[in-house]
Amino acid sequence: MSVYDNAKKIATGTYTDALLCDDGVTLLKVVRDPKDEPRLKKEVEIVSKLKKTNLADLFPDILDETAGLKVCDSCPERFKCFTSAKNFNCSMKNNAVAYRYDKDMPSLEKVLKVYPNGIDERDMVWMYKRLLAAIWTAHSLGYIHSAVLPEHVLLNLKTHGIWLIDWMHVNQVGKKPKFEVHIKDYYPEYALTVENGTALDIHMATILMTKLMGGIDNVSKDIRIIMRAGSMGMTDARELHEQLDKVVKKLYGSVFRPFKV
């Protein structure tokens, strides 16, 4: 029986709360307002498709897509009443999804706090490459993430991998993006009118990498040229990745460099 006992809230997002279960590896993503439940259902659909691609390791692992709040008069405490429709025959609301949680995967939000003056370019480039790969994979399926923010990128320090999380703000490729998250430093003005919204994710990823470097002036000349293209309306994440990869190999080769947070 999958009952998620004593789940404790550890974070709050635009539409959801994140609750960590006692086992330390199960994270419940719970919708606060019932009207946003379709967003979570859509996220599960999108992540499930992304996990079937050959770059599945760039996206979070779903443990249980049927998690929800059990309707139980004897359990008035909301955060102690989550269960799974798969294994529990009860009346319940499907307003949650269970993801795998890894305490050793820090977010880029934490990296920005730990390195206020910027990180080494050799560290930034592998993060940028992985993020572009995740973005082009999503674009190939017709999805624009639309919220490539520091808190939505988790790092796997052991493998130099990432997870691009939070797929509740998604727009469709080929349509003018609609914005639910308003962070002016990350959203370009041109994205409000451009029809091919793929430029939005590339722009946001590039601005995020620029912030990780402590500013564009700290970026070497050849990589700066690529990043400027990424922040000025480029729509093909795969092409930008290929350009970056060539320059990185020329400058730094392919030596694994440990990164600590």
Comparison of pLDDT for 71 and 222, the residue scoring more: 222
Comparison of pLDDT for 154 and 64, the residue scoring more: 154
Q: Which fold has domain 3-100?
A: Phosphorylase Kinase; domain 1 (3.30.200)
- The yes-or-no verdict on residue 114 having pLDDT over 70 is yes
- Strand-by-strand arrangement of the 67-70 sheet: 3-4, 82-84, 67-70, 92-93
pLDDT (0 to 100) of residue 77: 44
Q: pLDDT tens digits, residue range 184-210?
A: 778 877 665 666 689 999 999 999 999
Say which CATH superfamily domain 108-252 falls into.
Answer: Transferase(Phosphotransferase) domain 1 (1.10.510.10)
- The whole-angstrom separation of Cα 245 and Cα 229 is 15
Pinpoint the residues of the chain covered by CATH 1.10.510.10: 108-252
Q: pLDDT tens digits, residue range 37-49?
A: 899 999 999 999 9
Q: pLDDT tens digits, residue range 46-91?
A: 999 999 999 999 999 999 887 655 444 444 444 444 554 444 444 4
- The whole-angstrom separation of Cα 174 and Cα 185 is 24
pLDDT (0 to 100) of residue 145: 95
Pinpoint the residues of the chain covered by CATH 3.30.200.20: 3-100
CB of 184 within 8 A of CB of 131?
no
CB of 52 within 8 A of CB of 129?
no
